[in-house]
Amino acid sequence: METSLHRELKSHYAESETATEVRLGQYRIDAVSGGELIEIQFASLSAIRGKISDLVQSEQVRVVKPIVARRRIIRQQKPDGPVLSRRLSPKRGATLDLFDELVYLTRVFPHPNLVIEVPLVSVEEWRLPPAPSRRWRRYKPKHQVKDIVLSEILSTESFATSADLLRLVQADALPRPFDTAELSAQLGCNRSVSQRITYVLRQIGAIEQAGRRGNANLYAVPLPPKFSKPRKAKRTRTQAA
């Protein structure tokens, strides 16, 4: 089921009211603006990996991956019933969460026809009690989501190259070489997050392995190649004459 968040973002990015849900070959495109195809994906990017890989071969594509920075949870007993409670979720997303999804796009990104845009959003999530089910489940859901509604777009960042991702992780402030513990300390994240970041950066060629320190792998941003100055041709006596 399409959420209100998805519909509102389509309207936000489309160049006109008729430039949404556009058919292109075997694909349906969320929105079009200025000749650019826009795909909005709140769920995992793995679901559209093949689609994006095909489209960038001939089209300019912008993948919009909203990340929830602030979520207000609104509970109802029935879809048309009164609101039982409202509260802010303690969970807060950040732009660094993009690396959780980029693990699925390392064979596609970066590409000259692809931009990944990350709007940090504030949303209202409307919840109902879990739907009854006769199937046995090891982990029973505590609720079902009725809808997700956009409250505000707090900020937006775009990524088109590996250099854009290096700026996001402040690579220029890291020691050379660095390990994932040093990256964790700089970004204020746990070790598993920094390991995921280094995996993505290494897969796309933004960093390379640079040895080991004890049991830890070391990484560094590749240095640009040095070009030697061309030597001046020696003047022969004939030329001098």
In a domain? residue 240: no
- In this structure, the answer to whether residues 92 and 193 fall within a common structural domain is no
- pLDDT score at 131: 79
In a domain? residue 168: yes
Q: Check which CATH number belongs to the domain holding 210 and give it.
A: 1.10.10.10
DSSP 97-137: GHHHHHTT-TTT-S-TTEEEEEEEEEEEEEEEPPPP-SS--
Domain count, the chain: 2
Helix (H, G, I), strand (E, B) or coil at 63: strand
Mean pLDDT per 10-residue interval, the chain, length 241 residues: 94 92 94 95 94 96 98 95 96 95 95 98 96 71 92 97 96 94 94 95 96 93 71 57 47
- In this structure, the answer to whether residues 110 and 138 fall within a common structural domain is yes
- pLDDT score at 241: 47
- Note down the domain range covering 185: 163-223
In a domain? residue 93: yes
- pLDDT score at 235: 62
- In this structure, the answer to whether residues 112 and 192 fall within a common structural domain is no
- pLDDT score at 141: 77
- In this structure, the answer to whether residues 209 and 131 fall within a common structural domain is no
- pLDDT score at 59: 96
- Could you tell me the two tokens for 154? 């707090």
Nearest alpha carbon to residue 194 among 219, 212, 159: 219
In a domain? residue 230: no
- In this structure, the answer to whether residues 104 and 195 fall within a common structural domain is no
